[in-house]
Amino acid sequence: MKDGATRDGYGAALQDFGDNPKVVVLDAGVSDSTRSKKFGDKFPDRFFNMGISEGDMVCTAAGLATAGKVAFATSFACFLLGRTMDQILVSVAYSNTNVKLVGTHTGIAVGPDGPTAQMIVDLAYTRAMPNLTVIQPADYEEAYQATKTLINHNGPVYFRLGRSKVKGLYDSSYKFEIGKGSVLREGSDAVIIATGVMVQESLAAAELLKAENIDVSVVNISTIKPLDNELVANQARKTGAVITAEDHNVFGGLGDAVLDSLANQDIMVPFRKVGVEDTFAETGSQDQLFEKYGLSASHIAATVKEVLAKKTASQASI
């Protein structure tokens, strides 16, 4: 298992598997930070630094995809989505082009970059677009595996990556599959369904709860759309209580996806979301912001106990 940021796994995979002549990579002037520079250094003829021109980058990527290329368009998520919604909607999603939109530096985990760089609405944007698959890996290895998979996947994708270094969860035997989540810890009292950096926070919360004899499952949902409905249903029915955790606004992201899944499968269990509570955060370190805005392991653990209290009350009323 390798520790590292998910953006690092992305850059390494592009470098290792970029010998496919159909692969082209575009970046909007931040290639060192997004790690797409690793591809550019090795395959300069198929790397395009578009500068601070994200709309042009997305449309150029769509054009290259129409010509048979596998196009990765990369930038900080706040720029990639914040400046190009029309181009993405029309030239990528509506046109169903083979473009991989890679947004790095997501969530309030980018802390010191400030609130205008803390992209907390991108999952809501992209989940709502027809034809668009939405993926967020949880560690370096999963990002590496997912990038390799996306090279061979036909269709538009939003690939959400983080800036911060995270603890490795998977080794090289892991096989990423679009549309499938994975159970990292089995429990009986409740399930925490998490994505991205919040998977590590959820595992830490599970350890805190274990000290109080509370046994929780932790599920990594790396494909937010299409969601692994079967896994969600199995864990909800087994534990009878569901908590979601994401570094994103509580509206429009993983929490709403899971809630929709439960409703569509007629599963009624106590449920709570952990995420940014519809506010803009301040500037600070990731740890400071996670603690202040309720995303830390201790806050997740407290939310689990709140849901378990509802579960107990519900059972008592039967």
Name the residues annotated as catalytic: 54
Side chain identity at residue 235, one-letter code? Q
Of all helices (H) and strands (E), which one includes residue 182? strand 182-185
Helices (H), 93-139: 122-127
Question: Comparing C-alpha atoms, which of 223, 222, 218, 183 is closest to residue 202?
Answer: 218
* Main-chain dihedrals φ then ψ at residue 64, nearest 5 degrees: -65, -40
R_g of the chain computed on alpha carbons: 19
Side chain identity at residue 230, one-letter code? E
Question: Comparing C-alpha atoms, which of 101, 103, 127, 125 is closest to residue 261?
Answer: 127
The two structure tokens encoding residue 142: 């999963």
| 3-class DSSP assignment, residue 38 | helix
How many other CB atoms are found less than 10 A from the CB of residue 90? 13
